[in-house]
Amino acid sequence: MQYEIKGTPLPAVIMTLSAGESIKTQQGAMSWMSPNMEMSTNAGGSVGKAFGRMFSGESIFQNIYTCKGGPGLFAAASSFPGEILPIPISPTNTIVAQKTAFLASEMGVDMSVHFQKKAGAGFFGGEGFILQKFTGNGMVFLEIDGSVIEYDLAAGQKMVIDTGNLAAMDASVNVEIQAVKGVGNALFGGEGFFNTVLTGPGKIWLQTMPKNVVAGALAGFIKS
């Protein structure tokens, strides 16, 4: 499988497949394709995995597209202004991503539900306990809200972020919740009561325009 990502601010990943190659996508991801791409829909494994995807913000079912009889083309477009982030997954490179990040992947990539290790990160982190975890072998394509900023944290190095700005991270990165210091800061600072603290080692991918921030900004302009 070869690919290229085109377009802004609503990009699409355009994949070229050889005969017999397959990819899997989230429901509704297909934007255009060659006529020799054959689609099938299934729950993508066990019942547990299917419901795990539902809890992580995706649909229970996945679509699989298989190239038949020669080379084929398949394109999946982003559903929100931003970027499409390609990440190679391998036995030594496991990624954890925000809910609803999954767009498409090669067949060797497995997506499962990922729970925050500490209860505080789930209750107060603003995004709940549940994230998406990608293991296996192959390329995964993630949807990023706005632009993506990448940092490579050294062991013990920390980054304090608003939870909604976390797009993805290496599984080696630790997540904790930190209360905003000062009652006045928490009540009147406009940043909420808690921040997320990421501790290396590992890469983190941050997004500049989380959907919840955009929704909040637009809410004031929408008449009831």
- 74-119 tens-digit pLDDT: 999 998 999 999 999 999 999 999 988 999 999 999 998 877 655 4
The verdict on residue 224 lying in a domain is no
CATH number (domain holding residue 127): 3.60.160.10
Look up the domain containing 39 and give its range: 2-219
The verdict on residue 17 lying in a domain is yes
Calculate mean pLDDT across residues 176-198.
66
Q: How confident is the model at residue 69 (pLDDT cuts 50, 70, 90)?
A: very high
The verdict on residue 96 lying in a domain is yes
The verdict on residue 49 lying in a domain is yes
Q: Taking 90 as the threshold, does the pLDDT of residue 120 lie above it?
A: no
CA atoms within 13 A on the CB side of 31: 14
Q: Taking 60 as the threshold, does the pLDDT of residue 23 lie above it?
A: yes
CA–CA distance, 127 with 123 (Å, rounded to integer): 8
The verdict on residue 16 lying in a domain is yes
pTM exceeds cut of 0.75: yes
| Tokens standing for residue 49 | 């995995």
What's the pLDDT score for residue 187?
45
What's the pLDDT score for residue 126?
46
Return the H-helix or E-strand segment holding 23.
Answer: strand 22-26
Return the H-helix or E-strand segment holding 47.
Answer: helix 47-55
What's the pLDDT score for residue 121?
46
The verdict on residue 41 lying in a domain is yes
DSSP 127: S
Q: How confident is the model at residue 59 (pLDDT cuts 50, 70, 90)?
A: low
The verdict on residue 210 lying in a domain is yes
Neighbours of 111 (CB within 10 A): 27
The values of phi and psi at residue 40, to 5°, are -140, 150
Q: Taking 50 as the threshold, does the pLDDT of residue 185 lie above it?
A: no
Q: Percent helix, strand, coil in the chain (nearest 5)?
A: 15, 50, 35
Using alpha carbons only, what angle is made at residue 171 by residues 165 and 172, rounded to the nearest 5 degrees?
105
Q: How confident is the model at residue 164 (pLDDT cuts 50, 70, 90)?
A: confident
Percent of the chain residues topping a pLDDT of 70: 79
The verdict on residue 158 lying in a domain is yes
Beta bridge partners of 176: 197
What's the pLDDT score for residue 122?
46
What's the pLDDT score for residue 177?
84
Q: What's the domain count of the chain?
A: 1
CA–CA distance, 43 with 50 (Å, rounded to integer): 6
Give yes or no for a cis peptide into 11 (omega within 30° of 0). Answer: no
